[in-house]
Chain A
Amino acid sequence: MIKTDLVIIGAGPAGMSAAVAARKKGIESILLLDRNPFLGGILEQCIHNGFGLHKFKEELTGPEYAYKYSKEVEELGIEYKLGTMVLDVTSDKIVTAVNEKDGVFTVQAKAVILAMGCRERSRGALNISGTRPAGIFTAGTAQKYVNIDGYLPGKKVVILGSGDIGLIMARRMTLEGAEVKAVCELMPYSGGLTRNIVQCLDDFDIPLLLSHTVTKIHGDKRVTGVTICEVDENRRPIVGKERYIECDTLLLSVGLIPENELSKKAGIKLDSITSGAVVNGNRETSVPGIFACGNVLHVHDLVDFVSDEAEIAGNAAADFIMDNCSDSAVQICLNTGFGVRYTVPQVIDQSEDTRVFFRVTDIFKKAKILVKDGDRTILTLKREHCAPGEMESVLLKKTDIEGICSNNVNILLEVEE
């Protein structure tokens, strides 16, 4: 069995950033594994711009952003194996993987960072009725066909879901000569970033139909059309509001699911809301020495925040390996109150400043973000506008949370009437 200090599963933005951070903290023996034959993960197919504004103060494409890190991985001499699928991770941090050169092999690590990313929800998960012809793709799969393989998978397109990948693909397909007839969104608001709605739909006159869904898929061999329908406030189709749209392609952008199959094998406790691991401020999971970061932990809007989170995990894994961890600190569980869906981390350490990320449950205007210890308000922040599609955060300073020993810390919203 190979012995390594740190195994990182996934060499996308999270995995690379974590690897670089850990190396810079002094960890020599690192093994970065990825199933793709290249570093960079999903960024390689994200050829649009808009990456890096926070992190590098410049507008980069996905591959350019990835290159910033892959270059560093190379320069720092971090060992990686590509075309390598990880099959198993145990709570003892034994990682089993396979590739064409080494066959099936196992690695004993002192620490493991999970950075496997996420997958797209598929048609089956939505139970859309109708036939099962060619021409139904998740937006990311279509993106791969267009941007990596160089083929056009549709000419007359309806998109279900206004997540960012769906919006980006509406523009991409249009630029390639396809006609995007509509983007249907089940909710009364879009789950995507405002800038994407403006740049990818409005600029191309693509209609965004809010409170609409696809109720039936038509076509025997290839999609010939879809039935769309307006939905009521309970998201149920309204009888009589159906409409048939002729198309040859249905793209789905209906949510991302963290890929935690390996985490489950390792016995890691998962959060039922994020579908990712429950972590502390170090992004350490319920299994000591196993860390998680990036979209495998919770789905991010911007890759910049993925890189930041992965740095935290990389640094903490390095500390864990070098036995620099202080375990005397009091841990506080964060609860969510009105208007807040989840927080990451779910548990924080009283001895340090922690930025807590969270998502709101709905669109709120003129809201106050409150952090409370029981009835006592620790911190208040004002927001003109909050939306589920845009991640929020609060910085909890050590001085704010000093002396709190209860599990009554709540993050919630207060909305003006």
Chain B
Amino acid sequence: MFDVVIIGAGVVGGMIARKLSGYNLSICLVEKESDVAMGATKANSAIIHAGFDAAVGSLKAKLNVRGSEMMENVARELGVKYRRNGSMVLAFNDDEKTVLDDLLERGVKNGVEGMRIIDSDELHRLEPNITDDVKYALLAPSGAIICPYELAIAAVGNAMDNGCELKTEYNVKNIINDGDCYLISDGENEIRSRYIVNCAGVYSDAIATLVGDTSFSVTPRRGEYMLVDKEFGTVVNHTLFRVPSKMGKGILVSPTVDGNLLLGPTSEDIEDKSDVSTTAPGLDTILKSVYETIKNPPSRSVITSFCGLRSTPDTGDFVINVPCERFVNAAGIESPGLSSSPAIAEYVAELLSGAGLVLEKKEDYNPIREPSHKFREMSLEEKNRFIAENPAYGRYICRCEEVSEGEIIAAIHTNPPARNLDAVKRRTRSGMGRCQGGFCSPSIVSILARELGIPFENVTKSGEGSIINFERTK
């Protein structure tokens, strides 16, 4: 019997697990996919928003500003790359300029600091590659960038290091309230827990329905992205937004913490909650917008495109509440969910406490997690000491991102353990470079087979069903 079961191991679930692992509680994080960070967490804009966009007085506004304040420290504790690069909202004409005025006013009310509107001269001085058509920009120096799946993996890893259990490939099908505990089932195995936190992303409405809460629904809103070669990672320094519409914050151009350039997202409401396919019109839409935003966009150096589904609730705001006893929703977390995630965790802990859960601080709680990119940031002397002790760090597997076998082995054996090719990729960046795994994936499949003690042909790309090789050749 657990004190708390958290459903959904995205960045919100991970942050909540980490927060609760600081108390004397038995916690279990359950995830239907083969790895953590598999939903919207692995396919979003990777932005820590300043907080000017959300409606004044909304939960989004409050938690975004608070989360944005907390994030730098959280990232440091978790050893996650974070860069406060500042953001700009671009206006192409005077009509759009009035939107900037509104955003500025809203930002001030939301408590965002340091914002101001800059003119064409200043914005082009700061960002010479912005097209001449851009006339004004709202500059928000507190905007930042982060790698969302790195953050979620680190949060879950840190929670596990502090005693949290993780069950992957556990798809919650049924929940029964047994009076003083919940019986959770995936159809095969039952888990008992006193409390439940629902952070199941696009499926959070379905999970809430299992306990009779039908007060909200979540629509998957498709967002397509393109990622550009590191050669063009410094085309812009700030995150560049278009003026927002009711469908979101528009198509942005942003550097990433790993040195690539990110373009997107589109915004389109769809019905299928599992449809993360990109579309030809979507990719065209991105390029069209980017051509308006920056000069000579590096459209020929796109190395991959991908799609994520925002969990858009019909309530217009995050759904964070206690709909029935000992059950907390952290549902409908669309943008700015990543930015808000540490604040959401804080808020959920308060709600759990209010619902009767005793939060008693754990004495040996350690908020620090060793960075997964520790090796690559070492000095030459440190690297050589490391390689002398463990020669696997001298065997480079991924040439594009310069990842050693030692880092891959560590990813397989560090919480939360990587058990397939994509999981290794998200933890080490092997296969994320310009060759997209062309050279390194067979080597990583061998390493996974060896480290996990499974046959080569049983190694998957991303969990059950995603086999890479069928059988031995004749």
Contacts and interface: CB of A to CB of B under 8 A. Distances in A.
Interface of A: 35, 83, 85, 87, 98-104, 119-120, 122-125, 127, 129-135, 138, 140-141, 144-146, 148-155, 176-177, 215-218, 220-222, 261, 264
B365 interface: no
B23 interface: no
B406 to A, nearest CB: 9
Contacts of B306: 132
Contacts of A99: 394-395
Interface stretch (B244-252, B329-337, B345-353, B465-473): B465-473
A303 B227 CA distance: 34
Contacts of A151: 456-457, 469-473
A129 B283 contact: yes
Interface stretch (B87-95, B97-105, B150-158, B273-281): B273-281
Interface in B419-474: 434-439, 441-442, 445-446, 456-457, 460-474
A221 B463 contact: yes
Nearest to A264: B231
B436 A124 contact: yes
Contact of A124 (B304, B460, B463): B304
A124 B396 contact: no
Interface core residue of B393, B465, B469, B474 (most chain A CB under 10 Å): B469
B226 interface: yes
A85 B399 contact: yes
A221 B282 CA distance: 22
Main secondary structure of the interface of B (DSSP, over half): mixed
8 contacts: A103-B384, A103-B387, A129-B278, A132-B276, A145-B468, A145-B469, A153-B469, A221-B464
B402 interface: yes
A292 to B, nearest CB: 18
Contact of A154 (B302, B391, B470): B470
Contacts of B399: 35, 85
A148 B473 CA distance: 11
Contacts of A264: 231
A98 B394 contact: yes
B434 to A, nearest CB: 7
Contacts of A141: 437-439, 441-442
B35 to A, nearest CB: 13
Interface in B200-249: 226-227, 231
Given A124-B227, A151-B456, A152-B473, 4 more contacts: A127-B305, A130-B277, A144-B442, A153-B468
A125 B402 contact: no
B59 interface: no
Nearest to A127: B283
Contacts of B441: 141
B55 interface: no
Which of B226, B278, B404, B441 has the largest number of chain A CB atoms within 10 A?
B278
- Give the 6 A-B CB pairs with smallest separation, nearest first: A124-B304, A221-B465, A100-B394, A134-B461, A100-B391, A85-B396
B401 to A, nearest CB: 11
B276 to A, nearest CB: 7
Interface of B: 226-227, 231, 274, 276-280, 282-283, 302-306, 380, 383-384, 387-388, 391-396, 399-400, 402, 404, 434-439, 441-442, 445-446, 456-457, 460-474
A218 B275 CA distance: 11
A127 B391 CA distance: 38
Contacts of B384: 103-104
Contacts of B304: 122-124
A130 B438 CA distance: 19
A138 B436 CA distance: 10
A215 B446 contact: no
B470 A146 contact: no
Contacts of B274: 220
Contact of A148 (B404, B436, B438, B442): B442
A119 B456 contact: no
Nearest to B301: A125
Nearest to B227: A124
A206 B473 CA distance: 21
Contacts of B388: 103
B442 A149 contact: yes
B466 A133 contact: yes
A70 to B, nearest CB: 21
A317 B392 CA distance: 34
Contacts of A155: 470
A104 B435 contact: no
A123 B470 contact: no
Contacts of A140: 438
Contacts of A35: 396, 399
Contact of A150 (B437, B460, B465, B473): B473
A44 to B, nearest CB: 13
A138 B438 CA distance: 6
Nearest to A221: B465
Nearest to B464: A221
B396 to A, nearest CB: 4
Nearest to B396: A85
B279 A129 contact: yes
A98, A135, A146, A217, most chain B CB atoms within 10 A: A98
Contacts of B439: 119, 141
B471 A152 contact: yes
A104 B387 contact: yes
Nearest to B382: A104
Contacts of B392: 100
Contact of B473 (A135, A176, A216, A221): A176
B436 A122 contact: yes
Contact of A134 (B305, B380, B460): B460
Contacts of A103: 383-384, 387-388, 394
Given A100-B391, A119-B435, A141-B438, A125 B303 contact: yes
A216 B457 CA distance: 27
Contacts of B278: 129-130
A150 B455 CA distance: 12
B9 to A, nearest CB: 19
Contacts of B446: 149
B307 to A, nearest CB: 9
Contacts of A138: 438
Contacts of B463: 221
A100 B395 contact: yes
Contacts of A122: 303-304, 434-438
A123 B436 contact: yes
A132 B436 CA distance: 12
A141 B441 CA distance: 8
Contacts of A216: 277, 280
B470 A134 contact: no
Nearest to B306: A132
B438 A134 contact: no
Contacts of B461: 133-134, 221
A123 B172 CA distance: 34
B136 to A, nearest CB: 32
Contacts of B280: 129, 215-216
B387 A100 contact: yes
Contact of A101 (B231, B279, B394, B469): B394
A141 B437 CA distance: 9
Nearest to A252: B438
A120 B441 CA distance: 14
Contacts of A221: 461-466
